[in-house]
């Protein structure tokens, strides 16, 4: 079961390579020389796969003296101008939104610098769409070595078989495969000239195949969707089986009858319901304008737990809550279990609860700064009066 999608940046999220070809082509045309796209393309995505210097090459072919520093500065200005006119490549935004709704982690893995990648993601409005950004400063060797991808797996706490790489260049494909990860190649007009041999699947664009269909191609059958009335008998049996008692199922029924279900998701594989999660309204006394949720109850079949279903359900629920405009989520549990989702002890925000002490009440801001100055007690719900909080 997949847990993480790892995306290259240049040429995959944003076409930064075609603008560079155009910029060099315009400069070369002033000297009556054709820019060697195929030769230049061999350095793309590999941080120096061949020893090609476009300025030295132009000086040799034109037979004219060239101020290298001035030419590179000229090219850089034109290149940046063209890049600034680019939007994310087709299918990118849909993939990122769908990934989050499916509870998948996302990361950028790039041989470029943090300054470059994060600056462009910020311009595109996509910086917050990624859980991690891994760049050349974060590992000893760039692509085609596997170091950057291995670093991403480490930070996301994912195994190679739980990840999927998206790359546009041969060196990116080699790096992903060297890390033991399956690779989807999506070459752009520049890198398609180089070939992307070795990828597990090749697309002409991310817009060609929706993410759920692509995951199904690799054997992924898990679906995370909102609960329906038809799910409820199976969900009750699921809670009773997982907890060995009726308490949690009774709590869920009380929440439903009281109209206190803000969000309920079910994880389905084929016709089997592997897991379920509830979110109900939560209010900080004296601050009713802050919209919050309480996470739980939740249940996952024991045989599905090692596969990461609970993590996928939790991430999917938090993303849907964020998109619905909620400000924060509270949960009762062990901070070690919930910290991977961004939860912190609620006392750090000045929040308390009648039935929980110390760090057992956890909180997550869905909107940065939402809980600033929100000190107070999290109001209890009738359905939880026999449970903690």
Structure token digits, residue 316: 């999917």
Measure the CA–CA gap between 92 and 126, rounded to whole angstroms: 10
CATH topology of domain 4-11+88-217: Rossmann fold (3.40.50)
What confidence score (pLDDT) does residue 386 get?
46
pLDDT at 330: 94
**What architecture is domain 222-384?**
3-Layer(aba) Sandwich (3.40)
Inter-residue contact 264 to 271 (CB < 8 Å): no
Cα 167 from Cα 180, distance rounded (Å): 14
Q: What is d(CA 185, CA 204) in angstroms, rounded to the nearest whole number?
A: 8
Q: Give the separation between CA 169 and CA 42, rounded to whole angstroms.
A: 9
> What's the angle, vertex CA 365, arms to CA 363 and CA 367, rounded to 5?
165
Q: Could you give the CA distance from residue 197 to residue 82 in angstroms, rounded to a whole number?
A: 30
Catalytic option among 10, 79, 147, 231: 10
Where do runs of H (alpha helix) occur along 53-136? 54-62, 68-83, 92-101, 114-124
pLDDT of the residue at 381: 56
Strand-pairing partners, residue 329, are 293, 364
Buried/exposed code over 163-174 (b: 16+ C-beta within 10 A; e: otherwise): bbbbbbbbbbbb
**Partner residues linked to 5 by β-bridges:** 106, 164
Rounded Cα distance, 136 and 226, in Å: 39
Q: 123, 24 in Cβ contact below 8 A?
A: no
Q: Is 87 a catalytic residue?
A: no
334 catalytic residue (yes or no)? no
What pLDDT shows up at residue 388? 40
Longest dimension (CA), the chain: 86
Return the pLDDT at 250. 86
Per-residue pLDDT of the chain (389 residues; tens, 9 = 90+): 999 999 999 999 999 988 989 999 999 999 999 999 878 876 664 444 467 899 999 999 999 999 999 999 999 999 999 999 999 999 999 999 999 999 999 999 999 999 999 999 999 999 999 999 999 999 999 999 999 999 999 999 999 999 999 999 889 999 999 999 999 999 988 888 777 889 999 999 999 999 999 999 999 999 999 999 999 999 999 999 999 998 888 888 888 887 888 999 999 998 899 999 999 999 898 888 999 999 988 999 999 988 999 999 999 999 999 999 999 999 988 888 899 999 999 999 999 887 776 678 999 999 999 999 888 888 765 455 544 44
3-state helix, strand, coil in the chain (%, to 5): 45, 20, 35
- Choosing from 8, 79, 168, 231, which is the catalytic residue? 8
């Amino acid at each position: 079961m997949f847990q993480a999608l790892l995306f290259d940046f240049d040429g995959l999220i944003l076409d930064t390579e075609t603008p560079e070809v155009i910029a060099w082509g315009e400069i070369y045309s002033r000297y009556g020389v054709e820019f060697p796209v195929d030769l230049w393309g061999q350095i793309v995505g590999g941080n120096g796969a061949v020893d090609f210097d476009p300025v030295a090459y132009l000086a040799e072919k034109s037979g004219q003296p060239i101020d290298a520093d001035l030419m590179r500065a000229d090219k850089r200005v034109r290149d940046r101008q063209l890049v600034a006119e680019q939007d994310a490549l087709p299918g990118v935004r849909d993939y990122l939104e769908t990934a989050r709704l499916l509870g998948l982690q996302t990361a950028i893995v790039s041989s470029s610098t943090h300054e470059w990648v994060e600056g462009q993601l910020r311009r595109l409005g996509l910086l917050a769409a990624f859980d991690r950004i891994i760049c050349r400063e974060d590992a000893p060797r760039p692509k085609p070595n596997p170091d950057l991808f291995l670093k991403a797996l480490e930070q996301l706490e994912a195994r190679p078989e739980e990840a999927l790489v998206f790359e546009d260049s041969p060196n990116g494909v080699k790096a992903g495969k060297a890390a033991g990860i399956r690779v989807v190649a999506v070459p752009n007009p520049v890198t398609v000239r180089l070939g992307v041999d070795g990828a597990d699947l090749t697309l002409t664009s991310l817009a060609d195949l929706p993410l759920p269909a692509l995951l199904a191609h690799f054997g992924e059958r898990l679906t995370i969707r909102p609960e329906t009335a038809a799910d409820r008998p199976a969900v009750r049996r699921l809670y009773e089986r997982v907890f060995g008692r009726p308490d949690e199922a009774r709590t869920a029924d009380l929440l439903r009858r009281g109209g206190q279900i803000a969000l309920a998701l079910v994880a389905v594989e084929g016709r089997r319901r592997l897991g379920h999660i509830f979110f109900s309204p939560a209010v900080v006394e004296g601050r009713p304008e802050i919209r919050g949720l309480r996470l739980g109850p939740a249940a996952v079949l024991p045989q599905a737990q090692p596969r990461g279903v609970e993590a996928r359900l939790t991430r999917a629920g938090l993303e849907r809550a964020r998109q619905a405009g909620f400000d924060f989520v509270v949960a009762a549990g062990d901070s070690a279990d919930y910290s991977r989702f961004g939860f912190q002890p609620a006392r750090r925000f000045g929040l308390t609860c009648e039935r929980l002490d110390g760090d057992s009440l956890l909180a997550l801001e869905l909107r940065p700064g939402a809980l600033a100055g929100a000190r107070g007690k999290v109001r209890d719900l009738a359905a939880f009066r026999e449970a903690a909080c």
